Amino acid sequence: MPFVTRFDTGSMRFGVLGALLVAQYRGPPTLEDLKRSAVIEDELLERYEKVSMLTVVSNTGALRLPQEVRDYSVQLSARFAPRLRGSAVVVVSKGLGAAMARAFLSAFMLLSRADLPLRNCATLDDAVDWLRGLPEQDPEVARSLTRKALDAFLAD
């Protein structure tokens, strides 16, 4: 089963595969982008008890967020955390900026919701394997989440 792209603004693409949400950041998201993603997550949670999340950072500039976007992101995290099965983050860009982004995300994850399975993955393969193996993962995600399907979504 392929990913379904729900929106693509150029800086952010948001899609779903069963009970899995995928956000690809190619640039900093806007407040409107996050509001659109929240609507999609609400819709998905009407169909599934719990969902999983994969965040792919393709450009480390995407991590430079205006304060209002950071604040809204924190609100969304708190709102959806109880129904999130697990969340993986992958920084796929290279270089010093990417290394700094990975270090920042690791520290952020350590300081955030300890009761939620979070993983800062080194590669897309690692993220796919980890998400597929989460306890009580949705059978459609466990079956259909492949590197090939993910690459097709990210390449569009």
The token pair at 144 is: 């259909």
CA distances from 23 to 7, 76, 96, 101 (A): 10, 14, 23, 16
| Residue-range definition of the domain harbouring residue 94 | 4-155
> What is the tens place of the pLDDT at every residue in 10-65?
888 999 999 999 999 888 888 999 899 999 999 999 999 999 999 898 876 656 77
Q: What is the pLDDT of residue 105?
A: 57
Average pLDDT over the chain reads: 85
Q: What is the pLDDT of residue 115?
A: 66
Q: Is the pLDDT of residue 119 over 90?
A: no
| Average pLDDT value for residue range 141-153 | 95
Tokens 């700094």 belong to residue: 100
Please count the structural domains in the chain: 1
Q: What is the pLDDT of residue 43?
A: 95
φ, ψ (nearest 5 deg) of residue 84: -100, 120
Q: What is the pLDDT of residue 129?
A: 97
Band (pLDDT 50/70/90 cuts) for residue 117 is confident
Tell me the HSE value of 7 on the side-chain side, using a 13 A CA sphere. 15
CATH assignment at residue 25 = 3.90.190
Q: Is the pLDDT of residue 156 over 80?
A: no
